[in-house]
Chain A
Amino acid sequence: MAGKDLRIEWRSRVTTHQILPFAVLVILLFGMALDPDRGILARASSGLFWIAVLFCSLLAIQRAFTIEAADGGRDALRLSGLDPAGVFLGKAAAIAVQLIALEIVLALGVVIMYGAQITGFLLLLATCLAATAGLAAAGTLYGVLAAGLSVRETLLPILLLPVLAPVLIAATRAFEAALGGVAVEGWPWCGLLAIFALLYLIFGTLAFGTLLEES
């Protein structure tokens, strides 16, 4: 499932040609809006980075389920005999891989354009991995819930953004510690992200099949 989704993305280039430029544009616009005081920009860089990632997550999740909505893909998935837990983990993994790629580019953008200084590389890496796992797991779960509805494009952000608020807060705090702060203060936030990801991975593995059937 993950390989199939990534192959589709590789061929369609939606992530590289649409979501990535959107992410860079968001970072650029934030930079232009806060340009008069680069000090503010550097201090806000963690939050701005994760807001950009959050927006990109919505697009990536929408895209992951648009693929299945076309030409009876959802029924075909139900008929396929694939384990729903495997479908959930595969789709979440594919979303996570795309988000990691986006985060690498965005991180470079934040360092170059906002002048952010990395002081805790390991914390930065762990935060990215834990937050991405949480975004992908929760996103896949709510993605399949919204995918069965005719108003899915508008409903998904409304459903998902409040759920992802803890990820935004914890990842921002951890990044603040990793970007010029005291790294040790960021690890509890990183732990919180890991717990969030683990909970949604477990919940998604159990509930995805029912949501695929019922929604």
Chain B
Amino acid sequence: MESVIHLRGAVTVLGRFPALAGIDLEVAAGEIVLLRGMNGAGKTTLLRLCAGLLPIVRGEASVLGHDLTDRHQGRDLRRRVGLLGHATGLYDELTVTDNVRFWGGAAGAAAVDIDAALVACGLDGALADRLVARLSAGQRRRTALACLISRRPELWLLDEPHAGLDRDGRDLLDGLVRIAVASGATVVLSSHELERAEALADRVVTITAGTTDVSVGAAEESFLVP
């Protein structure tokens, strides 16, 4: 199967310090891969690296066919990935719709895609016109997810996506991930909600101090049960 993420001995830097101690990772198209690890193990750094936000200083790194050792290719990659991180990137002074329209529109999303994203995330109706500053943490998370969906990314990078969501929100997120994968997207996520995330994932990769230990097929059976 085609490799969406290929990392071999990849080392990046955070500020002036090296991060990820020569990480190896292969993710095939259509996979859902869960990154597991202690706080500070490098999960967020790995996701940011895969989004083309961090430079590669050593090793091989290719995502969606873009060679990340070439910075220009890293920038081209970003149009094709969606990163849902701890920070949402939302503007408090704009409404939910304004935010989704801005971030989706930046990636060329049509009005119909934006409306569909709002509906998919349960943000249609009164919530659509509410200022982001007046949203709860869970609603903010849903709005950020709607921004991501409207961009129709080929690679979803989700950093603790269940954080801040209630049970319905988590179910909604898991459902959207499955729909995205069924549509051809690939998903890499990190989560401390291990039971739920393992049920969602095809494969678990454990990161310890910036290196990977791959557990193949750990959650395959669970994934088959919706």
Query: Interface residues, chain A, CB within 8 Å of chain B?
Result: 4, 7-8, 11-12, 67, 70-73, 75-82, 209, 213
Contacts and interface: CB of A to CB of B under 8 A. Distances in A.
B159 to A, nearest CB: 11
B89 A73 contact: yes
Contacts of B83: 75, 79
B143 to A, nearest CB: 11
Interface residues of B, number: 27
A213 B72 CA distance: 11
Contacts, number: 63
A126 to B, nearest CB: 33
B107 A80 contact: yes
Interface stretch (B19-27, B98-106, B176-184): B98-106
Contacts of A78: 53, 78
Interface in B94-124: 94, 98, 102-103, 106-108
A67 B81 contact: no
A81 B91 contact: no
Contact of A82 (B48, B98, B106): B106
A81 B78 contact: yes
B225 interface: no
Contacts of B88: 71-72
A78 B75 CA distance: 8
A79 B51 contact: yes
A36 to B, nearest CB: 44
A188 B78 CA distance: 46
Contact of A81 (B71, B98, B107): B107
Contacts of A73: 87, 89, 91
B79 interface: yes
B90 A71 contact: yes
A7 B97 CA distance: 13
A77 B107 CA distance: 11
Q: Which 4 A-B pairs have the closest CB atoms?
A: A72-B87, A76-B89, A81-B79, A80-B106
